[in-house]
Amino acid sequence: KEIKIFSPATVANVACGFDVLGFCLDTIGDEMVIRKTEKKGITITKIEGYDLPFEAENNVAGVSALAMYNDLQPDCGFEIEIYKHIKPGSGIGSSSASAVGSVFGINELLGKPLDKTKLTFYAMKGEALASKCEHADNLAPAIFGGFTLVKSVNPLLVLELPTPLDLYATLIHPQIEVKTSEARAILPKEIPLSNAITQWANVGSLVHALHTSDYDLIKESLHDVVIEPYRKQLIPHFDEVKNSVLEVGALGCAISGSGPSIFALSKGETTAKAVQSAMQNVYSKTDIKFETYVSKIN
């Protein structure tokens, strides 16, 4: 018995919600095949797309699968094939897609013994291998879909947030690598109270705006005064991209996860495509290769 799955890319943080907010990009993602075997254990039999370790204990998908497997102790084993489309270090949840795909697939093959929160819990074990800490802001939207807020990781509590009908994401992925662990290492351990007040007001108002489909309030809320000032230095032309997409009508623009991808949210596909052109214009003038995507958020 085997299952072929699509494991989606995701945007973590969503400007103001560092480590808690995220949304799913269901048009971009990895493919994986999970196969039930008589031989016990977790074996990675194929990896295409990027050069990643085959040993389960050194592979993000393997680590999350092993964590789940060791707890459930099923009377069988699993083979995993990974067809990686999301570039590692791109800032759109590459490691999360791997971590989620294996646990999701195994759960399906076992007859769904675990709920989505429990799957997120095991996926966190794989994600920790890549980012050196346990956070679930990419994992939760990959598993639940749409927007999610990770209320806490211990105990793990994920809230599903509604998505306004006409909300689109546009992304640009400059082909440079930013390692999540390094992008975390440059952050200050403490922040001024005034910045904290601005940030939590924005998180609260963004959540309210999603519930009420208030696009003006989404626009008012998509600001990051805590993380962006430090991380934007790792992303060439960040300010230029941000200014030019706001000029053509984006609701907001920020770093996707730990970067280097940059995302913008827009009301309607027409604006989202204008935002895509604005992003392309900035990077076309440079030597840096890039890819752009437009995705409706569901």
Residues binding ligand HSE (CB under 6 A): 12-13, 18-19, 131, 135, 137-138, 180, 183-184, 257-258
Nearer to ligand HSE, 114 or 150 (CB): 150
Nearer to ligand HSE, 242 or 267 (CB): 242
3-state secondary structure of 143: helix
145 CB contacts (<8 Å, ≥6 apart)?
Answer: 24, 26, 298
To the nearest whole angstrom, how small is the minimum distance from the Cβ of residue 202 to ligand HSE? 16
The residue from 127, 148, 170, 271 that is catalytic is 127
Asked if 180 is an active-site residue, the reply is yes
Closest by Cα among 87, 103, 96, 263 to 178: 87
Nearer to ligand HSE, 22 or 145 (CB): 22
CB 100 within 8 A of CB 12: no
Burial class (CB in 10 A: 0-12, 13-18, 19+), 43: middle
> What six digits make up the tokens of 66?
């092993």
- CA 139 to chain CA mean position, Å: 7
To the nearest whole angstrom, how small is the minimum distance from the Cβ of residue 3 to ligand HSE? 26
To the nearest whole angstrom, how small is the minimum distance from the Cβ of residue 256 to ligand HSE? 9
The residue from 148, 180, 228, 271 that is catalytic is 180
To the nearest whole angstrom, how small is the minimum distance from the Cβ of residue 36 to ligand HSE? 30
Nearer to ligand HSE, 107 or 131 (CB): 131
**How far apart are alpha carbons 85 and 98 in whole angstroms?**
10
Active-site positions read 127, 180
